[in-house]
Structure 1
Amino acid sequence: MTETARKMEADLCTWIGREAAAEEMIPVIGRLYRENNVVTSVHGRSLINQSVVGLLKLHRWARQIDSEELALEETLPILKALDSLQLGAASIDIARLNEKFRSQGAGRALEEFLRDELAPIVGQRGADPRPSTDVVLYGFGRIGRLVARILIEHSGGGHGLRLRAIVVRKGSENDLVKRASLLRRDSVHGPFEGTITVDEENNTILANGTLIQVIYSDNPANVDYTAYGIKDAVVVDNTGKWRDDAGLSQHLESKGVARVLLTAPGKGSLPNIVHGINHGDITAEDRIVTAASCTTNAITPVLKAINDKYGVVHGHVETVHSFTNDQNLTDNFHKGDRRGRSAALNMVLTETGAAKAVAKALPELAGKLTGNAIRVPTPDVSMAILNLSLERETTKHEVNTYLRDISLHSDLRKQIDYIASPEVVSTDFVGSRRAGIVDGLATISNGKNLVLYVWYDNEFGYSCQVVRVLEEMAGVNAPSFPTEGATPAEGAVRPAEDLLATTR
């Protein structure tokens, strides 16, 4: 046998072994989720419902943290040990937990280390102190259906957020079947992961065990949700029809509604919340909250990171945005300027309030930003170009390394992602759960002048931010582990410009 043949056989055997390890992980991951309400992840990427290849790709992706990909022979024992500890509800990052064990294990056996690290939930056997909060989706368009997918995915053992109903205007006699079909199939985001059953007699959709009541109404003030066993619900208004206090307050007149979340920028004094930035400002007295816009969510975390370290004197935000449903497919009348022209054939210059809206979440940037937008013929994923004048000088390498570190080890790691690949294009970011992804290779730095390119899935990434705000309003966040100290060992971090990452 030649050396090449021996290497081929060895590589194949290694791959088969890794496949076997990943196959062994799947039932453990599922059991932790179903029986213990434990969500496992690799640097924020969920392991729930992943395939064998999906698990292998996540372990491979982790090489952007260390010089080598995450080893299954290290993570499999961690998962098995977690399974034996009878844990209570939690979110556990096994990659960061492994890093902490390697750097701070201090000679302890793995199970001993895990018992110490996870002491608050050890022996709790699925105990989940979180309250259950009913959620109603008012409207079932692009954002409504994606929020529904995320809520169904997060349903777990029934604690936390519970999607109970959607409210729509009846469009046809087979309306329910069509609504279910749109949930089941999506041209951009792919098929629904699971099974969907329609009960036309009772107007319900059963999706992966989540029973959703479909309610037909064209008046937000006259729905009796208590008739369906729904109480103290948070209504997520994703119609965009009402954006001020007076309009959204109509929901509060319906029986069974406690609070309202708008999936658009609010008007007047309504709090505009960008999760990761000012979600801590939400109080029990805030009965109506808005989740701002997709662009505001994409740029505000990055702007905060830059302003904290370098200071922003002023800047301009140019958004290259995928077309949306309010534009015309072919030229036709539209009350908005330029939006009557075909979205599929044109770049359409339009306005955006995202730059000004940043100040609602980051008051220190008030009056410092201008903005504009160009709608382009793509169905999803947009890009924000931040042209900033800074208080102090920096370099491309310095700012990229800083933003990459922020994306991995800061309180903004759920909002900011980082990538440095010369081959990525917009479709590579479909399905990203981060609010925005910094494209490191595109960064331009010249003294105090800085240009950043930030990709964002303006549908799914934004919907993830909406759900995070919803969790904050309901107070249903599970404890997260490891709590601290989980950073790569010195010398393990690769230069920012050498990194390749996936975003799914």
Structure 2
Amino acid sequence: MAEAIRVAINGFGVMGRHSIRAHQKDIKEGRLKEGEMEFVAVNDIAPISQLAPLLEHDSVYLGFDGEVVAEDDDIIINGKRILGFSEKEPSKLPWGKLGIDVVYESSGVFADSSKVRDHLKAGARKVYISAPSEVADVTIVPGINNHTYDPNRHSVVSGGSCTTNCLAPMAKAFLDRYGLYYGYMITTHAYTNDQRLVDTPHKDPPRAYAAALNIIPTTTGAAKAIGKVIPELEGRLHGTARRVGVGSGSLVDLIIFLDDSDQKLSEEEVNKTMKDAADGYLKGILGYAKGPLVSSMILGKNVPSTFDASQTHTNSKGEAKGSAWYDNVTGFSHQVIKGIGLVGRK
């Protein structure tokens, strides 16, 4: 067996912690081999003594399947010690000394900063960002455009957002079956830690209002990012987001307008297209459900996108609407593990 991919996590927030959970679940369910990937270090400005309990118990996903112990500056998970650091400057981290193959950049601080490359200066071989990024060398949605990754040219890789990872499989299935189209997407998204618990100033004014008490219109880069993943759709999709008062579980609605508007679409045919893709070439990244679903039904799903056939609508003018649910934490975290595996092996 090849040597394990050695991973360091920069930012042990929700996404950082859930990469640990996803990694463990992937091994348990046979999607990843034991010893294929190992977490070596965690860097976060918060002390490990405060972070470990948040891994041990999550308010949405409840208890961690295993033992979590904070010891000195380190965290011990099921007997395996992960070194802890609290360094604000990535260039000062000992990634070279630790033989780090991939830094999982989940802090949210460096996604669009040239300082993300300081992880490379510190000795890491690759960086994988769990967010859209203008400074990344390439954007990869695992299972959609893996073939575009070039290990000789791409050192900093963006995995897009949870919404991009939900949208991409559905958008690709539509494109492959019906050809070019323009489209508009709306994500109804669970609130995140970028929002406010009570009314408090925010640079994005709608997000200043209490997250659990409001439907909050805001922006999303998911539609724009699709062009980086599926070049045929560059400039053809636009979108918006509505943040709502649920802790996790989100929904993408995609409305498409075919270039060939003479094509006759039916709900049955669209649903068959999605089911065939989910059972075939998009298996593992696109799920399919007859529905109807609600957000709590999607919690814990490891696929990043689950098409809900009960929400499909069409008309005779080459227009259709499809809907896909996603666990914006768990589903995306499993995609992150795939992405780290992709860049870490090459």
Q: TM-score, normalised by structure 1?
A: 0.64
% of aligned pairs identical? 31
SS in 2 for 1:242: coil
Matches within 5 A, 1:110-259: 129-154=1-26, 158-170=34-46, 175-200=47-72, 203-225=73-95, 230-244=98-112, 246-255=114-123, 257-259=124-126
Q: What is the CA distance between 1:312 and its match in structure 2?
A: 3.5
Q: Which has the higher helix share?
A: 1
Amino acid at match of 1:271: V
Write out per-residue CA displacement over residues 72-101 of structure 1, whole angstroms, 9 at most, x where no aligned residue.
xxxxxxxxxxxxxxxxxxxxxxxxxxxxxx
Letter in 1 for 2:305: G
Describe how 1:77-476 pairs up with structure 2 within 5 A.
129-154=1-26, 158-170=34-46, 175-200=47-72, 203-225=73-95, 230-244=98-112, 246-255=114-123, 257-268=124-135, 270-285=137-152, 286-390=154-258, 391=260, 392-410=263-281, 412-422=282-292, 424-447=293-316, 448-475=318-345
- In our comparison, the structure showing a higher alpha carbon Rg is 1
The one-letter code of the counterpart of 2:108 is: G
Question: Matched residue of 2:138: which SS?
Answer: coil
Q: Distance in 2 between matches of 1:312 and 1:295?
A: 21
1:405 shift after superposition? 1.7
Retained in 1: the 8 A contact 2:23–2:334? no
2:136–2:157 CA contact under 8 A, matched in 1: no
Q: 261-270 or 148-157, which moves further after superposition?
A: 148-157
For residues 4-24 of structure 1, what are the alpha-carbon distances to aligned partners after superposition, in whole Å with 9 as ceiling and x for unaligned?
xxxxxxxxxxxxxxxxxxxxx
Q: 1:387 to 1:475 in 2, by over 3 A?
A: same
* 8 Å contact kept, 1:166–1:215: yes
Confirm or deny: 8 A CA contact 2:41 2:83 kept in the other structure: yes
Given that 1:130 and 1:475 are in contact with CA atoms closer than 8 Å, whether structure 2 keeps it comes out as: no
Which residue identity does 1:159 align to in structure 2? G
- Answer whether contact 1:321 1:376 (CA < 8 A) is retained: yes
Q: For residues 246 and 369 of structure 1, do their structure 2 counterparts lie closer, same or farther at Cα, with a shift above 3 Å needed?
A: same
2-structure distance, mates of 1:144, 1:269: 19
Deviation at 1:245? 6.2
The C-alpha deviation readout for 1:24-51, integer Å capped at 9, x for no partner, is: xxxxxxxxxxxxxxxxxxxxxxxxxxxx
Separation in structure 2 between the aligned mates of residue 374 and residue 421 of structure 1, nearest angstrom: 22
Runs of 4+ in 1 over 3 A off after TM superposition: 152-158
1:269 to partner: Cα distance: 5.8
Residue type of the alignment partner of 1:442: Q
Cα deviation for residue 268 of structure 1 reads 4.5
Query: Which amino acid counterpart does residue 300 of structure 1 have in structure 2?
Result: A
Deviation at 1:158, TM superposition (A): 4.9
When the two chains are superposed, the root-mean-square deviation of aligned CA atoms in Å is 1.7
**1:457-499: CA deviation from partner (whole Å, max 9, x where unpaired):** 11110111111111111228xxxxxxxxxxxxxxxxxxxxxxx
| Contact 1:140–1:166 (8 Å) recurs in 2 | yes
- Please tell me whether the aligned partners of residues 126 and 344 of structure 2 are also in contact (alpha carbons under 8 angstroms): no
Instruction: Give how far 1:289 is off.
Output: 0.5
CA distance in structure 2 between the aligned counterparts of 1:372 and 1:473, rounded to whole angstroms: 30
Structure 2 segments unaligned to the other structure (5+ residues): none
- SS at structure 1 position matched to 2:283: coil
Per the normalisation by structure 2, the TM-score is: 0.93
CA contact (8 A) 1:296 1:358 kept: yes
Give CA deviations for 1:93-140 in whole Å, capped at 9, x if unaligned. xxxxxxxxxxxxxxxxxxxxxxxxxxxxxxxxxxxx333111000000
Contact 1:435 1:462 in 2 (8 A): yes
